Structure formats: C-alpha cells, structure tokens
Amino acid sequence: MCWLPVTTNPNGPVCFNNPGCNDDAAMSGLAGACFDGICVCKMGFTVQLSGKCGKAAAPNCEKQGGTCFQGTESCAPGKLAGYQATITCGDLIAAVCCFDEAKCKSAVIEVPGKGYVPSPFHCCAGDDSGRDAICVNGWQTCHPGDMAQRKGFNCPGA
C-alpha cells in the first residue's frame, strides 16, 4: 500500500511509519506505532492535538470536547470513550468520558478512486483481550501500550 497525502480529506494519515508518530522529531526512540495513518502511543506517551505521540498529558474530558457521565462505564452507540486518566467527574463512582465518534479522526486506508476512507479497528491489550478504540485529543487511538488491529482480525494470542 502506498500512502500519498490527500489535502482534501481532513482525516488523511497523520503518520506513514513509526518514527512519524514522534511529536519531537529529534527524539531517537519511538514514542508510538503508526497504524493505518494514526498513532498508537507507547506507555508514558499520549496522543497530542497533532495526532502524534508526546509527553504532555491529555487535558480533562470536557476540555477535549467530551462529556463526562457518572454511574456507567460505557458510552452509547456512536460514541467513543476517552482515556480513563482524563475523567474528572467520577471520584468515587464509575464514570466515563464520551466523544462523538464522527468528531474523532479515524484510522484510514487508501482506496483507489475513493482516496482515504475510514479503517475500523479495535485494540489489543497486553493480555491479548480486545477492546474498543478510544478518543484522545480528537484522534481515535488505543490505550497507551495497546496494539491496534483491524476489525475482523483477532488479537495475537487470543
């Protein structure tokens, strides 16, 4: 697959390879992995507004444009949960930060004649269990340290 930027698609790829996920171009290591044009950050890194992985923590749920719901651990259909560390509304009870899925930039693949189209994916946790993508700073991604996998494929070891 060849990645060519398409300026007419606002959801075009933010990265083309793993080093493209480093928010700091001078960094010698890798902050994350590039998956279908989006970055999935390693532990200790967070998806930044640029879509790349950096050290700055994500702001709280509401500052990212999400809505915090108390008394539940899941979002309604068409919504994506945010990174748990950004929730500020559920001190002693279950809570979730939810984002409109359509407003969270997705992974993309290039389709001849159609340009970039969304590429649905899920995330594989360290124990090989699958879980849904999350939204961080306006980007669909996985929890830090997880691995992205196209929907329809099982997590390795599962």
pLDDT in tens, 29-81: 899 999 999 999 999 999 999 999 999 998 888 899 999 888 888 999 999 99
Domain segments of the chain as ranges? 18-150
Question: What span, in angstroms and rounded, lies between the C-alpha atoms of 115 and 99?
Answer: 26
pTM score, whole prediction? 0.85
If we measure between CA atoms, which residue out of 129, 125, 73, 123 comes closest to residue 98?
A: 73
- Give the model's pLDDT for residue 154: 85
- Going by their DSSP bridges, the two strands 38-41 and 46-47 should be labelled as unpaired
Q: Which pLDDT does position 9 carry in this prediction?
A: 38
Alpha helix locations (H) across the chain? none
What is the C-alpha end-to-end distance of the chain, expressed in Å? 27
